[in-house]
């Protein structure tokens, strides 16, 4: 019997998840059916109930339902708890397990695919929302020399830094954007939603150290204002979130099926030149 999986979001027509998981299933010989579900506003629980009743085994979750998925679950991983959100669920009878693979997928893309170790590096994380929360613990586990979180709302940056410091995993601090003047970093991540609106977060071009990696968590947007700022500042290594997308999907696939697919073919297929 073919096992059923899906991604739920609203809107959902743009999702690459069916393509990605279809490629993973073919490469690993797994018999699955993977579809999309457009969840109605305020109707997440009902849509998931119906999918489970029809035999669904697991879900990926995208905007705007990651908080709903976290609330729906009966068991939540440490990563999901830290993020306060879930991007994957697995159903086992009455048990609903929630995970968040965004951060670990991001780290794997940077460390393994882009060959950029974070250990001992000065890392700047722009934004303190759900994406940043999901990346916090995976970043600190890589033992950077320092992780700095900058955000428009200083309180949110400080709160996230306190959470990171409480984990005891590394040196982390929060600041406002204006506090970045005179500081340079080896890796800079844009985890804000600015690029989705073709806007630039208020970060000075001076934050990019020589040999820096500038990483845009959004994908498929080409040379975003953030990446253009980095390029104009002399940064040669630019990346968007397509590798993160592929890697977090591979983590979910392994969680569901017990086998981890190779991500290279998916990344090659989905990569858009940054021009």
Which residues are known catalytic residues?
66
Identify which of 122, 129, 119, 177 has the alpha carbon closest to the alpha carbon of residue 146. Answer: 122
Q: Which residues are annotated as a binding site for shikimate?
A: 15-17, 62, 87, 102, 219, 248
For the chain, the first-to-last Cα distance in angstroms comes to 45
Whether 16 contacts 269, CB under 8 Å: no
Tokens representing 40? 């109605």
Instruction: Please list the alpha-helical segments (H only) found in the chain.
Output: 17-28, 44-53, 66-72, 78-83, 102-108, 130-141, 154-166, 225-232, 242-257, 264-270
Is the preceding omega at residue 11 within 30 degrees of 0, hence cis? yes
Q: Which residues are annotated as a binding site?
A: 15-17, 62, 78, 87, 102, 127-131, 217, 219, 241, 248
Residue keyed to tokens 């003047």: 181
Q: Which residues are annotated as a binding site for NADP(+)?
A: 78, 127-131, 217, 241
Q: Which helix (H) or strand (E) holds 60?
A: strand 56-61
**DSSP assignment of 205-255:** GGGEEEEEEEEESS-S--S-HHHHHHHHTT--EEE-THHHHHHHHHHHHHH
């Amino acid at each position: 019997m073919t096992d059923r999986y899906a991604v739920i979001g609203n809107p959902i027509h743009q999702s690459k998840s069916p393509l990605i998981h279809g490629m993973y299933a073919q490469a690993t010989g797994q018999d699955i059916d993977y579809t999309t579900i457009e969840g109605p506003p305020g109707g997440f629980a009902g849509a998931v109930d119906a999918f489970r009743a029809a035999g669904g085994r697991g879900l990926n979750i995208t905007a705007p339902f990651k908080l709903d998925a976290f609330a729906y679950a009966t068991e939540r991983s440490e990563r999901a708890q830290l993020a306060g959100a879930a991007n994957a669920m697995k159903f086992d009878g009455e048990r609903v397990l929630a995970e968040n693979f965004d951060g670990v997928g991001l780290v794997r893309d940077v460390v393994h695919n882009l060959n950029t170790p974070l250990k001992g590096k000065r890392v700047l994380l722009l934004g303190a929302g759900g994406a940043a929360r999901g990346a916090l613990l995976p970043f600190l586990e890589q033992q950077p020399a320092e992780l700095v979180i900058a955000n428009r709302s200083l309180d949110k940056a400080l709160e996230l830094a306190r959470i990171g410091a409480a984990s005891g995993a590394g040196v982390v601090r929060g600041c406002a954007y204006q506090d970045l003047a005179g500081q340079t970093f080896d890796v800079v991540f844009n985890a804000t939603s600015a690029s989705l609106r073709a806007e630039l977060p208020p970060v000075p071009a001076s934050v990019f150290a020589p040999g820096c990696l500038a990483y845009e968590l959004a994908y498929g947007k080409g040379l975003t204002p953030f990446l253009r700022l980095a390029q104009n500042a002399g940064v040669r290594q630019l990346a968007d979130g397509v590798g993160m997308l592929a890697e977090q999907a591979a983590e979910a696939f392994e969680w569901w099926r017990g086998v981890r697919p190779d991500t290279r073919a998916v990344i090659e297929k989905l990569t858009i030149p940054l021009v």
